[in-house]
Amino acid sequence: MDGSAKILRPVARRVSGMPTSDGAGVKLNRLIGTPQLDHVDPFLMLDEFRSDDADDYIAGFPEHPHRGFETVTYMLAGKMRHGDNKGHTGRLDAGSVQWMTAGRGILHSEMPEQENGLMWGFQLWVNLPAKDKMTAPRYQEIPPAEIPTASLPGGVSIKVIAGEAGGVHGPINGIATEPVMLDIAVPADGAITLPLPATHAVFLYPFQGDIAVGESPDRVAHGTLAVLGAGDAVKIAAPGGDARVLLVAGRPLNEPIARYGPFVMNTPQEIRQAAMDFQAGRF
Ligand code: FE
């Protein structure tokens, strides 16, 4: 058998998001972490926030805890101020990424640093393996200029946040689930086939334009999240016009998940412990 033969992953599942609000009343669209799609192991949640009405985002996410997983914020438009109880602070501008490994616990706030204009981005929750859930908190903050772009044939360009595409490696490192996170721009009538580890779970979210996925191919409209099936490559085409797609892949943990709000552990006892530690000021 030809060692380079690729099995294109099909669309296994499609979900449209669930409008909800979180923090102090920020309106967002939840794509993963809903009754319809609880998780895509190792990914626990995906939210898209997009509004040019300040009333939808101005209240922000005042101080709250996290334990046992990682939060990833990718800003497309707008500015967000971040601060935590260890004195770490920073501003996320459009095009930047913050990969925060909460580990054993942090208390932080995420507040918009603008009073009008478009605020648009994603927050992804990535689970940690049991052995790393109580690790020390760690931040990776990547400004837009440090996210490399892979330019591929046919005018496809890919911002590589984590993992590899077209020989370009993303800046995020040392993450247990070996994630691949790509922001892929496919021009009208263009297509790209990307090899991805067969071990990984993969989802796609076209956030501009519609795409066609796989061999058949299957149409996925923008605003619809597609969970992909088994294979070792992903083919994305843009038959209807320019498209932009978030591709996220990671190695499943296959461990029990116990979650309660901002705590994600393996057992109910560990969740009770997290709540007690939080209430006792031990974060
Ligand atoms: Fe948070």
Report the separation in Å between the CA atom of 65 and the middle of ligand 1, taken as the mean of its atom positions. Answer: 7
Report the separation in Å between the CA atom of 150 and the middle of ligand 1, taken as the mean of its atom positions. Answer: 30
Report the separation in Å between the CA atom of 164 and the middle of ligand 1, taken as the mean of its atom positions. Answer: 27
pLDDT digits (tens, 9 = 90+) for 80-97: 999 999 899 999 999 999
Report the separation in Å between the CA atom of 32 and the middle of ligand 1, taken as the mean of its atom positions. Answer: 16
Report the separation in Å between the CA atom of 252 and the middle of ligand 1, taken as the mean of its atom positions. Answer: 22
Q: Is the pLDDT of residue 136 over 70?
A: yes
Return the percentage of the chain with pLDDT > 90, whole number. Answer: 96
The pLDDT confidence band at residue 41, using thresholds 50, 70 and 90, is very high
- Rounded mean pLDDT, 150-161: 96
Residue 86: its pLDDT value, please? 87
Q: With 0-12 CB in 10 A as exposed, 13-18 as middle and 19+ as buried, what is 134?
A: middle
Report the separation in Å between the CA atom of 269 and the middle of ligand 1, taken as the mean of its atom positions. Answer: 22
pLDDT digits (tens, 9 = 90+) for 186-245: 999 999 999 999 999 999 999 999 999 999 899 999 999 999 999 999 999 999 999 999
Report the separation in Å between the CA atom of 86 and the middle of ligand 1, taken as the mean of its atom positions. Answer: 14
Report the separation in Å between the CA atom of 109 and the middle of ligand 1, taken as the mean of its atom positions. Answer: 6
Residue 57: its pLDDT value, please? 95
Report the separation in Å between the CA atom of 162 and the middle of ligand 1, taken as the mean of its atom positions. Answer: 20
Report the separation in Å between the CA atom of 93 and the middle of ligand 1, taken as the mean of its atom positions. Answer: 17
Angle CA(139)–CA(140)–CA(143) in degrees, nearest 5? 130
Q: Is the pLDDT of residue 4 over 90?
A: no
Sign of the alpha-carbon torsion through 273, 279, 280, 283: positive
Report the separation in Å between the CA atom of 149 and the middle of ligand 1, taken as the mean of its atom positions. Answer: 28
Q: Is the pLDDT of residue 2 over 90?
A: no
Assign a CATH topology to domain 11-279: Jelly Rolls (2.60.120)
Report the separation in Å between the CA atom of 12 and the middle of ligand 1, taken as the mean of its atom positions. Answer: 30
Q: What does the mean pLDDT of the chain come to? A: 96
The pLDDT confidence band at residue 5, using thresholds 50, 70 and 90, is low
Report the separation in Å between the CA atom of 102 and the middle of ligand 1, taken as the mean of its atom positions. Answer: 9
The pLDDT confidence band at residue 277, using thresholds 50, 70 and 90, is very high
